[in-house]
Amino acid sequence: MTGLYYKRDNCRLCGSINVEMAVPLKPMPIATPNFRVPGADRDAPVYREGVPLELYLCRDCGHSQVLHVGNPDVQYGNYVYTTSLSLGLPEHFVEYAKAVLAVRKPEKDSLIVEFGSNDGTLLRCFKAEGMRVVGIDPAKAIAEAATKSGIETYNAFFSPDVAETIKNAHGPASVLIANNVIANIDDLDPVASGVKTLMAPDGMFVLETQYGADVIRDMLLDTVYHEHLSYFNVRPLAAFFERRGMQVIDVEHIWTKGGSIRVTVQHADSPGEVSDAVTKIIAEEDAQGMNGISCYRGFAGRVAALREKLNALADEQHAAGRTVGGYGISVGTTTLLAQFGLADKIDFLFDDDPDKESHLSGPGYDIPVMGPDSVYNKNPGLIVIFAWRYAEPIMAKHGKYLEQGGKFVIPLPEISVV
């Protein structure tokens, strides 16, 4: 495609046009710290243009989704985020591989394929267990590096053609994996076709993805941005696979990304039984109203209340002649700056990574980025911890700042001031 984004007008799971805007979030740029845009300077539209981010709910199947879709070539062709650097994930993947193999029980040298495989961290765990592995990823540099490291990786978006190519070259996949990538894909019908093509008759497809119910219940606002197009609940996801000749047979609620689900899928005519966990989690979603509009309206109200309180805290510091800092540079920071209206209230940002850009740029703002030692040089009146999941180690590292009278603000899931 050309351009920065487009707007779809129907549900990406069931195709219904009966979609309703459920959460009126603020626009934010397509560009995030997760990827680079070669040839684009700081004033390019990819940084400066605010693209709508409303969450829509399908009133027919209950799927929640972002319908303003970013250009995937821009977003993923030069991706720089790598799995191996994400705290806790490499260790999680070791257990993930063992758990999947314990269920599937494939013979040694069976084929494991992952699309959206990034740097091959997860596939490396399967390879260590004696499996053949193949990855698929659209980020050219990351795919090349993974291949050089011993994880053969096709540089492509997953599609029926790619599935056919891999099947012809390597045979059918005993296990097909999609880890934190399904939510990033707009057109899921070709993905389902590719899965059916590549998955062995007795194989299984295992996906991990952010759990939509956790996003709404637990106020995981920083996970909402244009890379994450879908916020899956189990009922609409199970119906999607059923319509395409497959069956969800197990669901596990896991801790990653603040709350995720691991979903196991097989061909509809495979003999594997459906776990009680599937019906249980669907019943919980129904009881909590996760497929209806009211819980989303409540989420929107909570966002507005947090925005008002954070703005008041920042205004109070500025009125007293003090500055306001932020800690952590990530895609979540970009989201929270927009949703909390803080872009013109944060004077500078701190981050532990020395390779971060010198400024975080967006619609109407260029916020200086500094190293952790600058906390003491700048000594702001308060610091909003945008990397709120790591608030404890950040505050422990900067106890001196607190001793000097500074304040840390943890913005989610509720505001707390330390």
Give the Cβ contact number of residue 318 at 10 Å. 13
Could you give the domains of the chain?
A: 83-292 (3.40.50.150), 307-417 (3.40.50.720)
The pLDDT-based confidence of 34 (bands split at 50, 70, 90) is: confident
Give the pLDDT of residue 295. Answer: 94
Taking residues 332-350, what's their average pLDDT? 97
Most confident of the following: 22-36, 92-106, 229-243: 229-243
Taking residues 148-171, what's their average pLDDT? 97
Give the pLDDT of residue 43. Answer: 85
The pLDDT-based confidence of 125 (bands split at 50, 70, 90) is: very high
What is the percentage of the chain residues whose pLDDT exceeds 70?
98
Question: Is pLDDT at 98 greater than 80 in this prediction?
Answer: yes
Between 89 and 369, where is the model more confident?
Answer: 369
pTM greater than the 0.85 cutoff: yes
Give the pLDDT of residue 85. Answer: 55
Kindly report which listed range (138-142, 250-254, 297-301, 351-355) carries the lowest average pLDDT score: 351-355
Give the pLDDT of residue 36. Answer: 77
CA 157/CA 134 separation, integer angstroms: 14
Give the pLDDT of residue 91. Answer: 82
pLDDT tens, position by position, 279-290: 999 999 999 999
What is the percentage of the chain residues whose pLDDT exceeds 90?
83
First to last CA, the chain: 47
Give the pLDDT of residue 90. Answer: 75
What mean pLDDT, rounded, does the chain reach? Answer: 93
Give the pLDDT of residue 86. Answer: 62
Please say whether the dihedral angle defined by the alpha carbons of residues 392, 412, 88 and 142, taken in this order, is positive or negative.
negative
Taking residues 165-190, what's their average pLDDT? 97
Between 11 and 356, where is the model more confident?
Answer: 11
Give the pLDDT of residue 87. Answer: 60
Taking residues 31-42, what's their average pLDDT? 79
